[in-house]
Structure 1
Amino acid sequence: MSTRLSYCAVEKKLWPKYREEISHSRNTVEVEGTFTMTVADLLTNVLEEKIYSEDIIFLPDEECHYRFRDNLLNNEKFKTTFDSSDLGAIIDRYVHTANSRYIHLSKLPEKTNSKIKRH
């Protein structure tokens, strides 16, 4: 049986700021940005090399709500770490929160836009 690495400590470090930013997102673009930046921060901490938010794609309308760009998928350190750890489960928790907020905001775009104009 192979050993699975756990990065829950990194997840817990990033989670409070992520949750606050997601809950204060005023539109779907902010939700997407928060998700991709947080996952990039997570991967940067885990891989100990700079990962950019552009390497993560948020896909709210698809079954799997995120995808990685080819340059990240071709990174051997990323592939090995992702396959031998709980990174997939951690990102699934992040994307579930982002997708729920995305759905909420996309249902009421007029109300959301009027709130933005008042601030």
Structure 2
Amino acid sequence: MTKVASFTKIENGLLPRFRESMNLAESTADVQKFFVYTMLDLLNNVLSDDAAGFELAYEDISLAPGQTPAYVFSPRLVGHAPLAAIMQESDLPAILSRFAEVATRQYQYLAKKPEKTEAKMYHGTGRAAR
């Protein structure tokens, strides 16, 4: 039986802030942004020992609603050998999928009601509305 590394402790540390961010998201762009920043935190924690000289960037991961899995890594990140090894030998893919699932639900909810999103963002007050 092979040993599987588990990152659920990191997941549980990030989850409350992530859920709060999703609830505060006013647009699909906010959902994407909050997802990416949380995943960067997750990956930085996971790769802390193996990331010598490897800097993660905002463009390295994105939310992909409607796809399975609902996240996409950049080619640069896919080619990073330590991450590829961790993805094979741990619960990281399942954790990423759980975060992506939560973000996708919020993304789809906000995408269905763009007028609500716009009303929140541009509520028609102040000088600009006159």
Shift of 1:28: 0.1
| Structure 1 consecutive aligned stretches of length 4 or more whose deviation exceeds 4 Å | none
Kindly provide the amino acid, as one letter, of the partner of residue 71 in structure 1: R
Bigger Rg, structure 1 or 2 = 2
Alignment of 1:76 with 2:81, yes or no, is yes
What is the distance in 2 between the residues matched to 1:80 and 1:31?
29
String of CA shifts for 1:30-82, please: whole Å, max 9, x gaps: 00011111111100001013422210021113233111011111111100011
TM-score of the pair, normalised by structure 1: 0.94
Q: Is the 8 A contact 1:37 1:52 kept in 2?
A: no
Figure out how many residues of one structure are paired with residues of the other and give that number: 119
Higher helix share: 1
Question: Is the 8 Å Cα contact of residues 41 and 51 (structure 1) preserved in structure 2?
Answer: no
Residue 88 (str. 1) matches residue 93 (str. 2): yes
1:16 aligns to 2:16 (yes or no): yes
Q: Which amino acid aligns with 1:13?
A: G
TM-score of the superposed pair, with normalisation by structure 2? 0.86
- Are 1:4 and 2:4 counterparts? yes
What is the CA–CA distance in structure 2 between the aligned matches of 1:64 and 1:82, rounded to whole Å?
13
Q: 82, 99, 102: which is aligned to 2:104?
A: 99
How large is the Cα RMSD of the aligned pairs? 1.3
> Using the alignment, how far apart are the partners of 1:62 and 1:85 within structure 2?
22
Structure 1 residue runs without a partner (length 5+):
none
Query: What residue in structure 2 maps to residue 32 of structure 1?
Result: 32
1:56 and 1:66 in contact (8 A); partners too? yes
